Each structure stands twice: as structure tokens, then as C-alpha cells.
């Protein structure tokens, strides 16, 4: 099964709260993932905060074209308990 991101929210620093179409929500810290030509510009906090959901690809992306696979984000994220 393919995962898709349905919502993204910047929390602080390089942390995001991401909702997935499997009904889970995870907090994802990308501070250790910002290496390489495409991702290094995201170390700029202003650019990082400009994260957005791309509904066509079903994942998050930034204005410079950087993106992460939903499965990767899900795998490194910490589950968030939803209020009942």
C-alpha cells in the first residue's frame, strides 16, 4: 500500500506534524536529514517553514523542489496520540 500525506504543519525548528491517509499522525524531525544538494538549502529556517502539501504527489515539498517520500516520513516519525 502506498502512503500519502494529507496535512502538514510546521511545529518548530525542523519539526513537522504530518497526517497520513492511513489515519495516523506523526511528528517528524528532519534536522538530521538536511544533507545533499537538494536538502541543504532547507537548513535556512525561513525556507524550511515554507513546507507545503502537494496534493498531486501526496507528499510534502518546498519551493526549491525538495521533497521526501511519505513512507520515509512515516518511518522516522513519532506517533502522535489523537484525543478521543
46 is a domain residue = yes
30 is a domain residue = yes
84 is a domain residue = no
Whether the full predicted model's pTM is greater than 0.75, yes or no, is yes
Please say if the pLDDT value at position 83 is more than 70: no
Tell me the C-alpha distance between 31 and 12, whole Å. 11
CATH number of the domain that residue 9 is part of: 3.30.2020.10
pLDDT, residue 39, reads 97
**Strand 52-54 to strand 25-29: parallel, antiparallel, or no bridges (unpaired)?**
unpaired
Over residues 17-70, the pLDDT tens digits come to 999 999 999 999 999 999 999 999 999 999 999 999 999 999 999 999 999 999
Task: State phi, psi for 75 to the nearest 5 degrees.
Answer: -65, -35
Query: With contact defined as beta carbons under 8 Å apart, do 53 and 66 qualify?
Result: no
* Residue showing cell 506517533: 79
Tell me the C-alpha distance between 77 and 30, whole Å. 9
Amino acid at each position: 500500500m502506498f502512503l500519502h500525506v494529507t496535512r502538514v504543519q510546521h511545529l518548530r525548528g525542523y519539526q513537522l506534524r504530518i497526517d497520513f491517509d492511513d489515519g495516523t499522525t506523526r511528528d517528524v524531525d528532519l534536522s538530521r536529514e538536511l544533507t545533499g544538494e537538494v536538502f541543504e538549502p532547507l537548513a535556512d529556517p525561513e525556507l524550511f517553514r515554507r513546507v507545503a502539501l502537494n496534493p498531486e504527489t501526496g507528499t510534502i515539498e518546498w519551493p526549491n523542489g525538495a521533497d521526501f517520500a511519505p513512507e520515509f516520513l512515516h518511518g522516522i516519525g513519532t506517533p502522535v496520540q489523537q484525543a478521543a
